[in-house]
Structures are given as structure tokens and as C-alpha cells.
Amino acid sequence: MNITADRLGSAIATLPWRVPLADWPRELLVGLPRGISRHVVRFVELAGVVVAVKETEDPIAEREHDLLQVLSQLDAPAVAPLGYITGRCTPDGERLPGALLTPHLRYSLPYRALFSQDLAAAVARRLVDALAVLLVRLHLAGFFWGDVSLSNALFRRDADAFAAYLVDAETGELHAQLSDGQREHDLELARTNIAGDFLDLQAGGLVDASVDPLAVSNRLLERYRELWQELTGPEEFSMDDRWRVDDRVRRLNDIGFDLGELTVTTDLDGVTTRIEPKVVEPGHHTRRLRRLTGIGAQDNQARRMLNDLDSYRMATGRTDEDEHDSAMAWMSDVYRPVLDAVPVEYADRLEPAQLFHEFLDHRWYLSENAGHDVSTPEAVRSYVDTVLPAHPREEAYLREPSTGALQTLRTADPDSPGTP
């Protein structure tokens, strides 16, 4: 018997692998809600970690483990792989299926458990909306699911919505990029399977009769296509419409996605800008901004600055220039001039990263109202005159407890890591 596990190896080795999973002693098992599965699935606790064990054939267990591992590296919303077991057999030599091990996704539930708590039709809409986002993210990562259904996902409550995670990758395939035909095939499978899921729920009395299974499955397709168009639909802008680039980026941010890159192309009508959005992992912006500029900022602040940096590269024809060189030019031409333009009496109103973030918002609103790009100097004057004076002083929050030193806009070293 071969045991491959990334961690908890010694604890995993003590489990009764020579016994079919359905016959494991009850004292080993953890009582958690299980979704409908074609396989036997059980939960066990090992060294404080709850692990899901799924019986499946040896090559399938190994392949699914490898798929989940790649999806984890791509930061796709899926359960993480822990290990897989092959070569199992009983003491009498009878062959047993292999097994896939994944840590239990904390605070997640299968869809049937959610409906046992709440029969409202709104739950159905929120679940398929979450599944649509999951499917879009998987497709952007080049993952063809092959068996899209509510049964093959787990759901976490997320404020008034849900977040969905892939839990069964057995039928999946990874590609560099999916074709339209592959995506449409996944959608057709989703239409059929989700309608079946809701018919099953209605048969069990878990969903109101007012919920139309076909309408719910069609909603998934509609939400998916809306998201896919917003994320990948070609949109081009002239060089004079930089504020429209910001508007597109804001729409992407509103649905939880971020700008991947800007591609500048030249045609007979002049220079145009094409946007290609992509998903990035949490904390990406903070790390990228610090690497490029040395500025320390929260992730949302960093995202806004990086969006402006990318727009600056487009507007100044620096898209083919080394990224670090462009960042230094942006620091010199945009970031530092904005901070240096703030009068001394306002220097302690906001920390630098937040001030610059607000300035960018202010410049965007001015440009939107004007219908054209408002220059940075003009936007700075407006921000200093009309917005900054209304902010209370925040120096008490910026003071270092041990030294009493103030981190001000003018004394900070912008090239020092972690210092705006």
C-alpha cells in the first residue's frame, strides 16, 4: 500500500486502510453534513485537523489530488489536497479502492444542508449566483469541470451571499485556456444538473414549490455570461479617455476581480487601449506595490495605486519599458508630487497611502463630471481645497508608541520598505 500525504503523514498511516471506508468504526468519525456523492465519504479528525476521506479508484485518486494541487497553486476556489492512498487491500488480499484526502473546508456546508435551514427562494438565487462566480473563476484558470452541479461544490456564508468552492474535481481537465466550446459544454451540463438538483430538493420538501428548477438553472447561465462578458469582453479606449479605463477597472473591482494588464495596440485610427482583466490572489496588490515602489499600503489602497500605475504606463507609452523603471517614473511624476503638494498644516490629516487613494478617487470623479481627463495638478488643488480640510487630524493614530515620532508625509522615506 502506498500512502502519499503532504502533512499529517504519521496520523494518516494509523487509519484502518485495510477496512472498507463504509465499515470504519464510528468512534473514528466526525459527524459533519455530507452532500450527495457517488463515492463513500467520511470525516475523521487527525491531530486537530478534520479530514475528508473519499474512496475512489487508485488512478482517479492520484489524478484528482494533482488537479486540486494545481488549482491551489492558481489560487482557484477549491478544497486543498492533503494526500491520496493507493494499493489498499483487506487482510485476505481483496483489493479495495484508493482514497483521496482533503482538509475539511471550515464553515462550509453542502447545498442540501443550507436548504434544510432556510426554505426561502432567495437562497436558491444566491447559491446559483455563487456557483456562477465559481465557474467563471475556474474557467479563467483554464479548468474544465465536466460535472458542474451544486452537489460538487461547498458553500460558505459571505454576508448576505454565499461563496462557492469546488469540492469534486474528478471529471476535471486543466488547459492553458478553454475554448468557447468547452465553456459552453460545461454550461449545458450545469443547466441539466442544477435543474435536477432542485427537482430533487422539491421532492424532499426542502424547497418551496414556487421555485422553478428550470428558471434557477437558466439564472446560472445568465449570471455566468454577464460576468464573463464583463471580465473578458474586449473594450477599447482612445488615449484621451483614461477616465473610462478607471471606470472599467472600478466595475471589475465591484464584482471582486482585478485588472491583470493593459495591452496597447496601434491601428489606422491611432493608439487604443485594450483591457484584459484577470483574478489575483488576496494580498497580491500589497506585495506587488511594495516590490515595485517600497510603499507599504493596505491591499485595497495598493490595488488603487497599481491601477493608476498601469494607466500611467499606458498614457506615457511605457508599456514596453521595464516594470520597475516605469514604477520609479510614476513615483517621480505622480505619487511624490501629489504628496508634496499637500500643505504642511494638512500633512497629518491622513496617512500617505490613504490620502493618495482618496486623491485618485477625487480625480476620477472630477474627470467623470468633466467628460475628459482632469490633470493631476488641477485635481490636487481641488482635493486640497475641498476635501482634505474636512478630515480630522489622525496624528494620534500615526504616533509610534515607543518613540513618539510622527510618520508624516514629508519626513517619510518613500524608498524604505514599508514606508509610504
Residue recorded with cell 441539466: 192
pLDDT in tens, 365-406: 999 999 988 888 899 999 999 988 887 654 433 333 333 332
Residue 340, Ramachandran bin (φ over 0: left; ψ between -120 and 50: alpha; else beta) = alpha
Beta strands at 153-158 and 173-174: parallel, antiparallel or unpaired: unpaired
Write out the H or E segment, with its range, that includes residue 419: none
pLDDT in tens, 165-194: 999 999 999 999 999 999 999 999 999 999
229 CB burial (10 A radius; 0-12, 13-18, 19+): exposed
C-alpha span between 190 and 131 (Å, rounded) = 10
Other Cβ atoms within 10 Å of 60 Cβ, number: 17
**CB-side neighbour CA atoms (13 Å) of 195:** 12
Confidence of residue 408 (pLDDT cuts 50, 70, 90): very low
Write out the H or E segment, with its range, that includes residue 38: none
> What's the mean pLDDT when you consider all of the chain?
80
pLDDT in tens, 336-367: 999 998 888 887 777 788 889 889 989 989 99
- For the whole model, what pTM was predicted? 0.61
Domains contained in the chain, CATH given: 2-103 (3.30.200), 108-231 (1.10.510.10), 236-398 (no CATH)
Task: Please tell me which residue, 233 or 64, carries the higher pLDDT value.
Answer: 64
